[in-house]
């Protein structure tokens, strides 16, 4: 995932003046942080990266259907207990999670290069309001502008994605049946390990 790439930054006015350069940087795999008055306001990332995160969100939704809520882990060290079901979230925690914005799931909104150069402040307002803007360039969609809050949320989730991959489940590629089978095998495996430990004791 390119969110792990080396971060680069540009001021909003510089992005407006050198938009094609900014797009090239982000499309090459380096997330570009857009600064407004010196503070991070948005991030420009690859379009296919956003598509991967949409698939991750679908996988997380499938896990929620199994009453597994990985996003509630305070650290990846808690994920095994959460997947196993030994840690049960409170109803209030689940409600807070349900109310958390997932901006990358918003409807596709495209914006052309000329429009960005003409009204970049207005477009940045949309992005910061939770409406990602997909940049259209030469008939394709190379990059997307997302809010810095959404960028930080996705960056936090990269560790969870890595944990599941190491445990045997690719959240990007897995379908609902594979996810359910993984949870079942994981719980059976830990249960067997617990029984072996008890017998040995």
User: What is the rounded CA–CA span in Å between residue 30 and residue 44?
Assistant: 9
Q: Is the pTM of this model over 0.85?
A: yes
HEC letters along the chain: CHHHCCCEEEEHHHHHHCHHHHHHHHHCCCCEEEEECCEEEEEEEEHHHHHHHHHHHHHHHHHHHCCCCHHHCCCHHHHHHHHHCCCCCCHHHHHHHHCCCCHHHCCCCEEEHHHHHHCHHHHHHHHHCCCCEEEEECCEEEEEEEEHHHHHHHHHHHHHHHHHHHHCCCCCCCCHHHHHHHHHHHHHHHHHHHHHHHHHC
User: What is the rounded CA–CA span in Å between residue 188 and residue 140?
Assistant: 46
Count of domains for the chain: 1
Domain that holds residue 65: 2-200
Q: Are strands 8-11 and 32-36 parallel, antiparallel or unpaired?
A: parallel
Cross-strand partners of 146: 43
Print pLDDT tens along the chain (201 aa).
667 678 999 999 999 999 999 999 999 999 999 999 999 999 999 999 999 999 999 999 999 999 999 999 999 999 999 999 998 899 999 999 999 999 999 999 999 988 998 999 999 999 999 999 999 998 999 999 999 999 999 999 999 999 999 999 999 999 999 999 999 999 998 655 555 554 555
User: What is the rounded CA–CA span in Å between residue 51 and residue 3?
Assistant: 13
How many CB atoms are closer than 10 A to CB 80?
15
Q: Residue 171 corresponds to which tokens in the numbers above? A: 């959240």
- Given a contact cutoff of 8 angstroms between Cβ atoms, the answer to whether 64 and 21 are in contact is no
- Max CA separation in the chain (angstroms): 72
């Amino acid at each position: 995932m390119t969110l792990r790439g080396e971060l680069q930054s540009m001021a909003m006015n510089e992005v407006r003046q050198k938009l094609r350069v900014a797009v090239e940087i982000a499309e090459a795999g380096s997330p570009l942080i857009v600064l407004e008055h010196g503070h991070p306001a948005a991030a420009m990332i690859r379009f296919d990266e956003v598509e991967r995160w949409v698939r991750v969100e679908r996988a997380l939704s499938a896990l929620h259907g199994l009453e597994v809520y990985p996003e509630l882990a305070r650290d990846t060290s808690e994920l095994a207990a959460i997947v196993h079901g030994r840690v049960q979230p409170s109803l209030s925690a689940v409600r807070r999670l349900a109310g958390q914005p997932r901006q990358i799931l918003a409807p596709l909104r495209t914006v052309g290069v000329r429009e960005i150069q003409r009204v970049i402040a207005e477009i940045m307002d949309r992005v910061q309001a939770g409406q990602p803007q997909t940049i259209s360039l030469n008939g394709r969609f190379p990059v997307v502008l997302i809010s810095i809050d959404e960028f930080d949320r996705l960056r936090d989730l990269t560790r969870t994605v890595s944990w599941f991959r190491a445990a045997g489940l690719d959240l990007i590629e897995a379908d609902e049946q594979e996810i359910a089978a993984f949870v079942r095998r994981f719980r059976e495996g830990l249960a067997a390990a617990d029984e072996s430990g008890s017998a040995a004791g």
